[in-house]
Amino acid sequence: GQQLNQSPQSMFIQEGEDVSMNCTSSSIFNTWLWYKQDPGEGPVLLIALYKAGELTSNGRLTAQFGITRKDSFLNISASIPSDVGIYFCAGLGSSNTGKLIFGQGTTLQVKP
Amino acid sequence: DTGVSQDPRHKITKRGQNVTFRCDPISEHNRLYWYRQTLGQGPEFLTYFQNEAQLEKSRLLSDRFSAERPKGSFSTLEIQRTEQGDSAMYLCASSSTYRRGGRTDTQYFGPGTRLTVL
């Protein structure tokens, strides 16, 4: 079945540093979504990517849809303490299925 | 525009009991999805509806699980004869196939219902 490999699994960084995380798959996806989840809450959508090669920003966040459609990355610039949480990538094979495939998550901790 | 809401937020039950969760999607969203998330993992797809029709079900959705969306608005997820392995966060998401409601392929999640089976 389709699987997403997300790395790194966890990161512990200093406030102000930039962060990069990525997801790779053996399957092609038509949509890549990046979510952030706080403990006890549902995932919150950060960035949505719909076209291969697309580069999209949302404030300090930048994400790219890989040209091969099998990977995506998320960058966070100048991290702040409220960036702490778990970041998930998710891929959708086509609009005919509702099944989002999620990565295992990247846990981010920021030291003030 | 309110987001996806779920009720209850937390549920503690004893093994063997039945539980029911409710999800209200974003208004104008005609697609509604259920996922399950266990500790340390990403959400796993269970099922989804487009309007009243249940269009896709995962193999994770055993015969003890049933989801309904009778009027194409809110949805319920029932688990019968709960087992300890059912303990998880149950997440609901919604999206729209109508242009005015956004994109079909962009799912917005609710806060989840945390189920603990003792």
Q: Are the CB atoms for B110 and B91 separated by under 8 Å?
A: yes
Residue A2 has pLDDT above 80, yes or no: no
Pairwise CB contact (< 8 Å): A95 & B42: no
Q: What is the pLDDT of residue B1?
A: 57
Provide, for chain B, the percentages of residues in helix, strand and coil under a 3-state DSSP scheme, each rounded to the nearest 5.
Answer: 5, 45, 45
Q: What is the DSSP letter of B85?
A: G
Taking CB atoms and an 8 Å cutoff, what residues of chain A touch B56? Answer: 97-99
Taking CB atoms and an 8 Å cutoff, what residues of chain A touch B93? Answer: 100
Distance set, CA A25 to CA A104, B34, B37, B106 (Å): 12, 23, 20, 19
Q: What is the pLDDT of residue A32?
A: 95
Peptide bond into B43 cis (omega under 30): no
- List all residues 6 or more positions away from B91 whose beta carbon is below 8 Å from its beta carbon: A42, A43, B6, B34, B35, B36, B37, B43, B109, B110, B112
Taking CB atoms and an 8 Å cutoff, what residues of chain A touch B44? Answer: 102
Residue B21 has pLDDT above 90, yes or no: yes
Please provide residue A85's backbone torsions phi and psi, each rounded to the nearest 5 degrees.
155, -170
Pairwise CB contact (< 8 Å): B45 & A98: yes
Q: Are the CB atoms for A91 and A1 separated by under 8 Å?
A: no
**CA pair distance B10, B49, nearest whole angstrom:** 24
Tell the residue number behind the tokens 């392995």, with chain if given: B85
Tell the residue number behind the tokens 């697609």, with chain if given: B31
Taking CB atoms and an 8 Å cutoff, what residues of chain B touch A48? Answer: 103, 105-106
Name the token pair of A11: 């990161």
**CA pair distance A65, A83, nearest whole angstrom:** 22
Q: What is the pLDDT of residue A61?
A: 98
Average pLDDT over residues B79-108: 88
Q: What is the pLDDT of residue A10?
A: 97
Interface check for B61 against chain A (CB to CB < 8 A): the answer is no
Q: What is the DSSP string of A33-85?
A: EEEEE-TTS--EEEEEE-STT-EEEETTEEEEE-TTSSEEEEEE-S--GGG-E
Tens digit of each residue's pLDDT (9 = 90 or more) over A41-80: 999 999 999 999 999 999 999 999 999 999 999 999 999 9
* Nearest by CB: B91 against A42, A97, A103: A42
Residue A95 has pLDDT above 70, yes or no: no
